[in-house]
């Protein structure tokens, strides 16, 4: 049983070529076989998955087929799932069992998906390598000595290893696109507000966005439609109409796109990555795209602005974890103040503490104007940069990451080098734009990703151009070990 895509799985289920219970059991067996090596999952929901699989089979026998009936999926452990541990990769929430479902979980459940389990991640989504997790690092299936990227590394690694056909992730500064690039799969971050954030445990509320990992663009189109839409529980969710992304990708709609390449995205690339990137540009020209050089002069300040804005919001959001209402509570406390201090000291890891401290400092009296307010002004300049660019071009492309995956442990003692892994991705979060990483080639047998950025709510054209590209290439079909 070796299905290559979500579309193939859904077709086989609808045609009754395979039962959902057989399919689900097959993926659970794959996880058990590989996960000791890869460490993709924090929680495996085997019993729940098999019970729902039986229910979906009964529905299909009665010709009741939902949009995603029987599709196995892995959920990032940042989404609250009713009666299942939701840990955010942290000791702080190691004992937290959510009493409700996040909207993303609810929508996918209602569409008929089967949750295989909750995937490993950088603690509270803070990291670019999936090494900050309380549950240990996730491994890259292309070479287990290398990181899969982060923070959604468990979700990316699971799809790349083909132990789950698709998975959810979240992207605050590149946490879907960067691991998608390093693992050789597709990772889509929608427009801010396209997918509800209700029940998604917050890191930086103005930047966080839920998204998906798949092996190809058409699969991402299928899943995005089911995940998207207005949610009255999330005041930042958008009521903009959700198109049928999959049908649009397959339509004869004119695709003579003008595609911009920012000088800032390519000037410092090493020769190997630059060659792979420009080979991809030739493919886009072949399918009818017009290439134009553009400037995004303020995006070079993206990492600096992000490393003020995101920690500031994290400092505020994580103040709720105090050892009183839920989560880890220290046994070494003598009074209330001591309880707060000891619970947070024991519950949070080093990277989370670092960002809380930076954020609290940036928001403190005397430094707010100098740091936080200035970072927000830079954020506005970056957003205007993109706005001006989209007056000239339809889409923007560049490499997703500066280089291939790095070895586990290589950057753990150098936070600045780690943060610079997201140099090409953070600006889109600051501007609230949609972006996707798709496989574009290899360097030294490790995958590289092509990032495609669109204007607000233009996911359909990102997916369309990705599909056109994938009709001309087979990078997305490559599998680790094959």
At residue 480, the 3 state secondary structure works out as: coil
Phi, psi (5° rounding) for residue 209? Answer: -150, 135
Backbone angles phi, psi at 28, to 5 degrees: -60, -40
Q: What is the 3-state secondary structure (H, E, C) of 342-387?
A: HHHHHHCCHHHHHHHHHHHHHHCCCCHHHHHHHHHHHHHHHHHHHH
Please state, in angstroms and rounded to a whole number, the distance separating the CA atoms of residues 74 and 383.
33
Q: How many Å apart are CA 477 and CA 481, to the nearest integer?
A: 12
Query: Which domains, ranges and CATH numbers included, belong to the chain?
Result: 6-259+392-477 (3.90.1300.10)
Q: Which two tokens stand for residue 75?
A: 């959920």
**Residue 403 CB-density burial (10 A; 0-12 exposed, 13-18 middle, 19+ buried):** middle
Token representation of residue 211? 């998204």
Residue 211: partners with Cβ closer than 8 Å, 6 or more residues away: 168, 169, 170, 171, 176, 187, 188, 189, 190, 195
Cis peptide before 151, with omega less than 30 degrees from 0?
yes
281-312: b (≥16 Cβ within 10 Å) or e: bebbeeeebebeebebebbebbbebbbbbbbb
Looking at residue 208, its pLDDT comes to 98
Under a CB-based contact definition with an 8 Å cutoff, are residues 358 and 379 in contact? no
pLDDT tens across the length of the chain (482 residues): 678 899 999 999 999 999 999 999 999 999 999 999 999 999 999 999 999 999 999 999 999 999 999 999 999 999 999 999 999 999 999 999 999 999 999 999 999 999 999 999 999 999 999 999 999 999 999 999 999 999 999 999 999 999 999 999 999 999 999 999 999 999 999 999 999 999 999 999 999 999 999 999 999 999 999 999 999 999 999 999 999 999 999 998 777 899 999 999 999 899 999 999 999 999 999 999 999 999 999 999 999 999 999 999 999 999 999 999 889 999 988 899 999 999 999 999 999 999 999 999 999 988 999 999 999 999 999 999 999 999 999 999 999 999 999 999 999 989 888 988 899 999 999 999 999 999 999 999 999 999 999 999 999 999 999 999 999 999 999 999 87
If phi over 0 gives left and psi between -120 and 50 gives alpha, with beta otherwise, what is residue 270?
beta
Please give the Cα distance from 62 to 96 (Å, whole number).
Answer: 38
Contacts of 481 by beta carbon, 8 Å cutoff, 6+ apart = 141
Tokens (6 digits) for 67: 């949009």
Q: Which of 187, 38, 10, 218 is nearest to 119 (CA)?
A: 38
pTM, 2 dp? 0.96
Which residues, in sequence order, are bridge partners of residue 117? 44, 74
The pLDDT value recorded for residue 374 is 96
pLDDT on residue 11: 95
Q: Is 15 exposed, middle or buried (0-12, 13-18, 19+ CB in 10 A)?
A: exposed
Burial 464-477 (b: 16+ CB within 10 A, else e): bbbbbbbeebebbe
Are the CB atoms for 327 and 212 separated by under 8 Å? no
Structure confidence at residue 2 (pLDDT): 79
Q: How far apart are CA 173 and CA 255, in angstroms?
A: 29
Using alpha carbons, select from 470, 442, 16 the residue that is nearest to residue 221: 470
| CA contacts within 13 A on the Cβ side of 180 | 38
Q: Is 300 helix (H, G, I), strand (E, B) or coil?
A: helix
CA angle, residues 291, 297, 302, in degrees to nearest 5: 110
Which residues, other chains included, contact 53 with Cβ-Cβ below 8 Å and sequence gap of 6+? 19, 20, 21, 23, 24, 25, 70, 114
Q: What does the pLDDT read at residue 334?
A: 85
Tell me which residues are annotated as active site.
76, 151, 175
Cα 228 to chain centroid distance, Å, stands at 15
* pLDDT reported for residue 305: 96
> 114 pairs with which residues across the strands?
72
């Amino acid at each position: 049983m070796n299905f290559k895509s979500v579309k193939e799985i859904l077709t086989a289920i609808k045609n009754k070529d395979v039962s959902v219970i057989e399919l689900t059991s097959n993926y659970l067996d794959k996880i058990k076989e590989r996960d000791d090596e890869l460490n993709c999952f924090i929680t495996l929901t085997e019993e729940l998955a098999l019970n729902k699989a039986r229910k979906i089979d009964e529905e299909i026998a009665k010709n009741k087929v939902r949009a995603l009936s029987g599709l196995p999926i892995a959920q990032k452990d940042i989404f609250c799932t009713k009666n299942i541990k939701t840990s955010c990769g942290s000791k702080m929430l190691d004992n937290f069992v959510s009493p409700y479902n996040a909207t993303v979980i609810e929508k996918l459940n209602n569409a008929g998906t089967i949750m295989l389990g909750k995937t490993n991640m950088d603690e509270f989504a803070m990291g670019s390598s999936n090494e900050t997790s309380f549950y240990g690092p996730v491994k890259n299936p292309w070479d287990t000595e290398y990181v899969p990227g982060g923070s959604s590394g468990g979700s990316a690694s699971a799809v790349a290893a083909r132990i789950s056909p698709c998975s959810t992730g979240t992207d605050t500064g590149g946490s879907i696109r960067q691991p998608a690039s390093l693992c050789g799969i597709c990772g889509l971050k929608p427009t801010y507000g396209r997918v509800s954030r209700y029940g998604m445990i917050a890191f930086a509320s103005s930047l966080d966005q839920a998204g998906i990992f798949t092996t190809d663009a058409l699969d991402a189109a299928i899943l995005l439609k089911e995940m998207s839409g207005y949610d009255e529980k999330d005041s930042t969710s958008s009521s903009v109409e959700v198109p049928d992304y999959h049908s649009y990708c397959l339509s004869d709609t004119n695709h003579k796109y003008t595609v911009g390449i920012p000088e800032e995205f390519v000037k410092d690339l090493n020769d190997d990555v630059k060659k792979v990137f420009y080979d991809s540009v030739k493919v886009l020209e072949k399918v009818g795209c017009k290439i134009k050089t553009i400037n995004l002069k303020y995006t070079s300040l993206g990492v600096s602005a992000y490393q003020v804005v995101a920690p500031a919001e994290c400092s505020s959001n994580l103040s709720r974890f105090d050892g009183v209402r839920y989560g880890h509570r220290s046994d070494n406390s003598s009074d209330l103040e001591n309880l707060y201090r000891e619970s947070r000291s024991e519950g949070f890891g080093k990277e989370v503490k670092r960002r809380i401290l930076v954020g609290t400092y940036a928001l403190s009296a005397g430094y707010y104007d100098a740091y936080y307010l200035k970072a927000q002004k830079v954020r506005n300049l970056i957003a205007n940069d993109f706005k001006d660019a989209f007056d000239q071009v339809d889409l923007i492309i560049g490499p997703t990451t500066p280089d291939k995956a790095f070895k586990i442990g290589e950057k753990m003692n150098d936070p600045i080098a780690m943060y610079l892994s997201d140099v090409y991705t953070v600006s889109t979060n600051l501007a609230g734009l949609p972006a996707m990483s798709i496989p574009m080639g290899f360097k030294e047998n490790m995958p590289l990703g092509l990032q495609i950025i669109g204007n607000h709510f233009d996911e359909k054209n990102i997916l369309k151009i990705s599909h056109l590209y994938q009709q001309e290439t087979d990078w997305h079909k490559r599998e680790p070990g094959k």
